[in-house]
């Protein structure tokens, strides 16, 4: 099981399933890929701190409906319950779209995070406005709408340009943090 001060490198779904005990986490801050359609690399530094030309491919932030997405979707739906209901509804509405592939990737990770989060734990999910409304519904299905606390708008200091901004579009200058937290159970109700 997970040890204190342990850093894991890899797919968080695998790490959660293999190394993190049930109800052992107080706080989760999740900053998943945003479907930016970009590739991200890990850059290394030289001993003097300067940037090295060495890098490794970290991940592709592009989600497309494919066999892997289909399997993730089917795995969630087969478990039944509120999450499966939400995913079926998304699939009815979104079909085999890129957004559906993104949600199929996120759903099992959120389910695992629910498993490892303490009953009194908190989770912050950092996302952007293109997916925040879908992720809010998915998180309601996973964690329960009663523990939703707030949608926090995080204004960026600069807008990420996607080539679509201009005179016909407002600048995209904020991200969203969805905050869920369970209230501690009272040992003596009424106190």
DSSP 162-180: -S--BTTB----EEEEEEE
The verdict on residue 110 lying in a domain is yes
| Total count of domains within the chain | 1
- The whole domain housing 71 covers 12-33+60-181
The verdict on residue 165 lying in a domain is yes
Give the model's confidence band at 189: pLDDT under 50 very low, under 70 low, under 90 confident, else very high: very low
Per-residue CA distances from 94 to 50, 68, 80, 99 (Å): 45, 17, 20, 7
The verdict on residue 52 lying in a domain is no
Residues 31-75 have pLDDT tens digits of 887 665 555 455 555 566 555 555 554 555 568 999 999 999 999
The verdict on residue 140 lying in a domain is yes
The verdict on residue 54 lying in a domain is no
Give me the pLDDT at residue 187, please: 38
The verdict on residue 45 lying in a domain is no
Q: What is the CATH number of the domain that holds 177?
A: 3.40.50.150
pTM value? 0.78
The verdict on residue 2 lying in a domain is no
The verdict on residue 39 lying in a domain is no
Distance CA 22, CA 145 (A): 21
């Amino acid at each position: 099981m997970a040890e204190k001060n342990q850093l894991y490198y890899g797919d968080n779904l695998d790490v959660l399933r293999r190394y993190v005990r049930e109800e052992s986490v107080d706080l989760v801050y999740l900053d998943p890929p945003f479907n930016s359609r970009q590739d991200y690399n890990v850059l290394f530094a030289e001993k003097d701190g300067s940037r090295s030309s060495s890098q490794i491919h970290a991940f592709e932030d592009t989600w497309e409906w494919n066999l892997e997405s289909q399997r993730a979707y089917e795995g969630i739906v087969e478990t039944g319950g509120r999450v499966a209901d939400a995913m079926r509804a998304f699939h009815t509405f979104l079909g085999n779209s890129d957004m559906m592939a993104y949600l199929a990737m996120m759903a099992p990770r959120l389910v695992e995070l629910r498993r490892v989060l303490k009953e009194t734990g908190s989770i912050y999910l950092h996302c952007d406005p293109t997916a925040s409304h879908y992720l809010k519904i998915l998180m309601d299905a996973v964690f329960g709408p009663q523990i939703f606390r707030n949608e926090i708008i995080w204004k960026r200091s600069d807008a990420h340009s996607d080539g679509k901004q201009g005179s016909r579009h407002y600048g995209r200058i904020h991200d969203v943090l969805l905050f869920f937290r369970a209230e501690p159970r009272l040992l003596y109700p009424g106190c």
